């Protein structure tokens, strides 16, 4: 899908790699990630902890430490982000691209009121100032469902509950009407009921602002109502990508099937939750073949020899697996 006016995607990432220089050698955290995101579209990146989800988005925003070596390309609204000057990146961040993190306590300064900080986010980019910015910050809090926003703009972060603080961070993220929201584990620190509410706020906000979203999560259960497409990452690579429908009803990759089997589902008896055995590979000791090979019940000889290619398996649907057609379909696995 492309922008109606320009025919270009909002964000086009091609062959992004990130390696960290460490004392024990180079750690390849992201190994050739590519995707396009259209204006207004929502894509989820899922995978276990350590699969490279956060590092890939931080790379786009120039927020990685200097020990990171980044290659590849990421074109946002026609401009290359990789190698962009700090000054330009700074002006994009929070204005055109905004991030929502897991822990709002790190996003907010404990010494300033919530209202002042949301106002400041607007003032930095020159989009509003003074009383106007403060009154806009109350409007934003109202948009994300914070009750009594006129009173709560004068409160400090610690006076907000976890869920309310996360709403406030969403308010701050949309203050400058960004084209792209990157939400990295936005509800991981919250109770399940609050999680659902915050996801609903995100969906409403996207509906109102038309912002595109990259939702990063280890929890596949969060994804269904929140994204149109899914990218499943493992060991720094995309193992499967597709529409919500294809990923949830016709997953072709053993890793995606494993993630689904380990997830509580309405149509899954709780005694059939099957965790994926083993742990993700160490970045410094990646298997020579398929990174998931050592944990995969379908592995064969070739899987130990070289990584598989990401190959089309249907419309808008691709999977990285040597055993492609031999993998049982999900309808058989989950029956």
Residues that bind Mg ion (CB under 5 A): 54
Gyration radius (Cα) of the chain, Å: 21
In whole angstroms, how close is the CB of 236 to ligand ADP at the nearest point? Answer: 7
Q: How far is the CB of 163 from ligand ADP (least distance, A)?
A: 22
Q: How far is the CB of 184 from ligand ADP (least distance, A)?
A: 7
Instruction: Please give the full DSSP string across 37-82, using - where no structure is assigned.
Output: E-TT-EEEEE-STTSSHHHHHHHHTT-S-TTEEEEEEEEETTEE-T
Residues at the contact surface with ligand ADP, assessed by CB under 6 A = 20, 22, 27, 29, 47, 49-55, 65, 67, 283
Distance CA 112, CA 154 (A): 9
Q: Which residue is nearest to Mg ion (CB)?
A: 54
Segments in 179-253 forming alpha helices (H): 192-209, 244-249
Output 54 or 253, the one with its CB closest to Mg ion. Answer: 54
From 38, 56, 44, 10, select the one nearest 244 (Cα to Cα): 44
C-beta of 118 vs 183, nearer to ligand ADP:
183
- Cα separation, 207 vs 19, in Å, equals 36
Residue 305, number of CB atoms within 10 A of its CB: 12
Identify which of residues 38 and 223 has a Cβ nearer to ligand ADP in the complex.
Answer: 223
Looking at the Cβ atoms of 28 and 128, the one nearer to ligand ADP is 28
Residue 186 binding result from Mg ion, ligand ADP, none, given CB thresholds of 5 to 8 Å by partner type: none
When the beta carbons of 12 and 54 are compared against Mg ion, the nearer one is 54
Q: How far is the CB of 185 from ligand ADP (least distance, A)?
A: 8
* Continuous segment of H or E residues that includes residue 36: strand 25-37
To ligand ADP, the closest distance from the beta carbon of 280 in angstroms equals 8
Cβ count near 123 (within 10 Å): 17
Q: Other CB atoms closer than 10 Å to residue 217's CB: what's the count? A: 23
Question: Which listed option, Mg ion, ligand ADP, none, makes contact with residue 51 (CB within 5 to 8 Å by class)?
Answer: ligand ADP
Q: Closer CB to ligand ADP, residue 27 or residue 333?
A: 27
CB of 59 to Mg ion, least distance (A): 13
Q: What is the pairing mode between strands 42-46 and 212-217?
A: parallel
Report what 157 binds from ligand ADP, Mg ion, none; CB cut-off 5-8 Å by kind: none
Contact 47, 231 (CB under 8 A): no
> From Mg ion, ligand ADP, none, which one binds at residue 65 (CB under 5 to 8 Å depending on kind)?
ligand ADP
């Amino acid at each position: 899908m492309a922008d109606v006016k320009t025919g270009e995607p909002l964000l086009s990432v091609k062959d992004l790699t990130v390696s960290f220089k460490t004392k024990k050698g180079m750690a390849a955290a992201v190994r050739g990630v590519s995707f396009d995101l259209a204006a207004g579209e929502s894509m989820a990146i899922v995978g276990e902890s350590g699969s490279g989800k956060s590092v890939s988005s931080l790379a786009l925003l120039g927020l990685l430490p200097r020990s990171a070596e980044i290659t590849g390309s990421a074109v946002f609204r026609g401009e290359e982000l990789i190698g962009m000057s700090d000054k330009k990146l700074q002006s994009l961040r929070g204005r055109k691209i905004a991030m929502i993190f897991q822990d709002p306590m790190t996003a907010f300064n404990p010494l300033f009121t919530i209202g002042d900080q949301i106002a400041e986010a607007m003032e930095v980019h020159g989009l509003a100032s003074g009383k106007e910015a403060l009154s806009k910050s109350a409007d934003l809090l109202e948009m994300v469902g914070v009750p009594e926003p006129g009173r709560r703009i004068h409160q400090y972060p610690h006076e907000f509950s976890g869920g309310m603080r996360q709403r406030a961070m969403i308010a701050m993220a949309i203050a400058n009407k960004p084209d792209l929201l990157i939400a990295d584990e936005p509800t991981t620190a919250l109770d399940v009921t609050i999680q659902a509410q915050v996801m609903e706020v995100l969906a409403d906000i996207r509906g109102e602002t038309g912002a595109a979203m990259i939702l990063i999560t280890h929890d596949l259960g969060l994804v269904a109502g929140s994204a149109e497409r899914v990218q499943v990452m493992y060991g720094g690579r995309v193992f499967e990508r597709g529409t919500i429908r294809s990923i949830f009803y016709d997953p072709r990759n053993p890793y995606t099937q494993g993630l689904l089997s380990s997830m509580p589902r309405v149509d899954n008896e709780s005694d059939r939750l099957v965790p994926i055995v083993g742990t993700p590979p160490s970045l410094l000791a990646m298997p020579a073949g398929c990174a998931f090979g050592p944990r995969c019940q379908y592995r064969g000889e070739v899987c130990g020899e070289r990584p598989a290619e990401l190959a089309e398996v249907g419309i808008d649907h691709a999977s990285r697996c040597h055993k492609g057609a031999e993998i049982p379909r999900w309808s058989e696995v989950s029956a």
